[in-house]
Amino acid sequence: MSEEINNPDVQDEEALAVEDGMLLDYLSNEPLKETPKEQVRQRLIRAFFHEYGIDVNDMALDVAIKVDGKRKKIDIAIFEHGKPHELENIRRIVMCDKEPKQGRKSTIKMRDHAQAKKDLELMQDIMREEALSQCRFGLWTNGIEFFFLERAETRFDVNFKAVGDWPMADETLGSRDVASHAQMRRADPEMLQIAFRRCHNFIHGNEGMPKDAAFWQFLYLIFAKMYDERPGNKQREFWASPTEQFEVNGRKAIRMRIEPLFKKVKQQYSTIFRGNEEITLSDRALAFMVSELAKYDFSRTDMDAKGAAYQEIVGNNLRGDRGQYFTPRGAIRLMVEMIDPQIGEKVLDPSCGTGGFLVETLSHINKELRRKEKIALKNETTAEFLSVRERLSDYAQVRLFGADFDPFLCRASQMNVVMASNAAANIFHMNSLEFPHGHLDGVKGADAHIKLGTVDVILTNPPFGSDIPITDPQILNQYELARHWERTTTGFRDRGTRKDAVSPEILFIERTIKWLKPGGRMGIVLPDGILGNPGDEYIRWWIMRHCWVLASVDLPVESFIVEANVNILTSLLFLKKKTQTEIDAADLNGEPEYSVFMAVAEKVGFDRRGNTLYKRRPDGEEIIEEVEEVERIRIGGENVERTLRRRKKILDDDLPQIAKAFKVFREKHTEPGA
C-alpha cells in the first residue's frame, strides 16, 4: 500500500501578513517598499548585526543632514553604542545604491576607489560636516562593490584613507593589524556569497582570466585559507592588514605570506594537487582576494552558508556536458534528512559532482553530534567546538566517500568537503559504472575501501539522458539491466541478449544497489520516465525484487530549471536493499504488503525565473512569522549573548514539510525489511 502526502497551502486568514511588493525592515520589523536599493540596505543591516556585532538599536535609516545648505539623507547611520540618535554621536555611515543588474549571475569589472570617486563624493561631503566630526568610517556599496573609508583629519583639512574593511563593533582598525583567530568572524550567508562572487569577478573581470582558470585560482586560495585554519595553528599566514591591498609593498608582503603557505597546502593534499600548480594572480588581485577571505572564520561559519557560496561559484564554471546536472540544494537536504545517515555508517556518492551530498551529510552528522552532546550551534564553547570539529574531521576521513569520472569535479568536490570539515574525504577519480574495473587512478583506492556490497548509505544524482548512452560492451556486460527482458506470468525474465546502448541512469540504479550492503539505504535522483513509462516496467520490477521501496517524491520542473538550467521532471526514489533471504521469500510467496511514503512537491521556494516565492493568504498578501535570533558576539572583550525577535516572510517551499511528514510517517509505519 502507499500513503500519499500533499502539502496544502497556508490558508490562515488571521496570520500576520505584509502587502505584495513590501519587505520587512530588520531594524523596526515594519514594512518598507521592496526596491533593489532597499534589498542591498537590508542585507547590510543584517550583516552589521550578525558579522560585526553592531547593535540594531545603534542603527537608524534615512538620517537627515544638511550638506552645503541642501538636505541629504544618510542611508544607514551607526551611532556610538547606547548613545542618543543625534548627529554628533554618529560613528559610521553607509550610502547604498542598487545592485548592478548583471552582477548576480555574470561577471562585472570591479572598480577601485579612484574609479569610484564620483560615487564616493556625497559620502565624503557628509563626513566633512562639522556635525559629523566624530564619524570615523564610511562605506559606499551597490551590493557588489564595497568601498570602505577611514576619516583622516589634518590641521587644515579632512582627508579619507581607503581601507579593506571596518573593524568589529568593539575593535579599532589598529587591532586588526594583528592576525589573530579572535578577530575573524563567522560569515553571514548572503555576505559570504557576495565575497566569493567579488573574488571571482575580480580575477575574471579585472584580470581577464577565463572563467575556469579564475575558478581554479580561487580554489587554491580557499585551500590555503582552510589549511591556515587547521587546529593548533597559531602562526596565521592568510591575513591582510586594512591597508595592505592598497599599497605596493603591502601587496608584495601578502604574496610573501601566501606563496609559501600554498606550497605547504600542496604537500598536505598531495593526492589532490600534482605539485606544479601555481598562484598566477597579479599582486593586486591576490591582495584583493586575501583581504576578502581573511576576515572570515571558515571553521565556525555555518556549513550551509559555505556550501551555498561555494556552489554558486562552482555552478557557473564546472557544468559538464555529460548529463552532469548539479542537484538543487533543497533536494539534497531533503534526501539526506529522509535517509538519515548515522555517525557509524559509511556514505557514498558514486557520481559526486561538486560534493553537494557529501557536504550535506557532514552538516547532518554535525547536527547529530551536537544534538547528542547537547551543544548549541553558534553558542558552543571553544572546547565544545574543537571536540565536534575533530569528530567531524574523523568522520570525513573514515566514513565519507565519493567518486566521479571528471577529475576537475573530484577536486572541486574535495574542496567542498575540506571547507565543511577541515579534512579531506575519500574522493576517487574513476568511472563508477566500470568499477571494480577501469583504468583511472581512483579504482585501486576505491576497491580497498568501498567494495561492492559494503556501503551503508548511498546518496546520488547520476548523469542521465538518452543522448549520452553507454555503449561500451565491457561495461554493459556487467549489468542485468543492460539486457533484454520480457514479461512472464510472475514478473519479467532475462531473454539472454544484451542491448547495444543503455542510458547511464539505468545502469546507475543497478550499480548503486549492488554497492549497498543488505539493509543499506539509498536515495537517488531519477528522471520521471523510469518510474512511469510503460516500457521501463521491467526496471521497476527489478528494483522491487531487490529492494524495499521506502519513499518516492516528485519534484516540480522549477527545481532543475533555476539551479541547474535544465528543463526536466525528476523524482527522488528512496530504497532499502533486501537480504538474499528476503528476495528468496518474495520469489516463493509473493511480495508482502508494506507502506510506502509518496509525496508531490508543488513549490520549492522560487518560480521558473528564480524569483523567490513566499506563502500568501487567500487575499494575496504574503504571510509573515515571528522568529527568535540568538547571537553570541564579543563586546568590550567579553562574550555577550543577544536575542532578537524579528518578523520574516515564510518561504513557499514544500520540501521541508515533506521531510517532516516522512518522519511522522515512519513513526507510524515500521520500516520494511530486516
Q: pLDDT digits over 117-167, tens only?
A: 999 999 999 999 999 999 999 999 999 999 999 998 887 788 999 999 998
Distance CA 341, CA 323 (A): 27
What percent of the chain stands above pLDDT 90? 58
Name the residue with cell 582570466. Answer: 209
Question: How confident is the model over 510-539, as a mean pLDDT?
Answer: 94
pLDDT band for position 171 (50/70/90)?
low
Tell me the three cell numbers of residue 182.
Answer: 579572535
> Measured between alpha carbons, how far is 65 from 86 in angstroms, rounded to an integer?
11
pLDDT tens, position by position, 525-544: 999 888 889 999 999 999 99
Q: Residues 84-103: pLDDT tens digits?
A: 999 999 999 999 999 987 64
Mean pLDDT to the nearest integer, 343-367: 95
**Percentage of the residues of the chain whose pLDDT score is greater than 70:** 91
For residues 164 and 183, what is the distance between their CA atoms, to the nearest angstrom?
14
Q: What are the tens digits of pLDDT across the range 279-315?
A: 999 999 999 999 999 999 888 888 888 888 887 777 6
- Is residue 467 scored above 80 in pLDDT? no
Neighbours of 346 (CB within 10 A): 19
Identify the band that residue 636 occupies on the pLDDT scale cut at 50, 70 and 90: low
pLDDT reading at 9 higher than 80: no
- The residue type at 345: E
Q: What is the pLDDT of residue 324?
A: 52
CA-wise closest residue to 436 among 454, 450, 424, 420: 450
| pLDDT at position 209 over 50 | yes
Strands 158-163 vs 516-527: parallel, antiparallel or unpaired: unpaired
Per-residue burial over 587-601, b = 16 or more CB atoms within 10 Å of its CB, e = otherwise:
eeeeeeeebbbbbbb
Phi and psi at 374, nearest 5°, equal 55, 50
Residue 384: count of CB within 10 angstroms of its CB? 15
Whole-number pLDDT of residue 173: 52
Residue 172 pLDDT greater than 60, yes or no: no
Side chain identity, residue 565? N
87: closest CA among 100, 78, 97?
78
User: If phi over 0 gives left and psi between -120 and 50 gives alpha, with beta otherwise, what is residue 110?
Assistant: beta
For the ranges 269-283, 292-306, 314-328, the lowest mean pLDDT is seen at 314-328
Q: Pairing between strand 2-6 and 596-600?
A: parallel
Give the fold, CATH level 3, of 18-183.
tt1808, chain A (3.90.1570)
Q: What pLDDT does 316 receive?
A: 62
Categorize the per-residue pLDDT at 185 as very low, low, confident or very high, splitting at 50, 70 and 90. Answer: confident
Which CATH number is 303-607 given? 3.40.50.150
**What is the band of 637 on the pLDDT scale with cuts at 50, 70, 90?**
low
Identify the band that residue 14 occupies on the pLDDT scale cut at 50, 70 and 90: low
Question: Looking at the predicted structure, is the pLDDT value of residue 13 above 50?
Answer: no
- The mean of the pLDDT values for the chain is 88
State the pTM of this model. 0.88
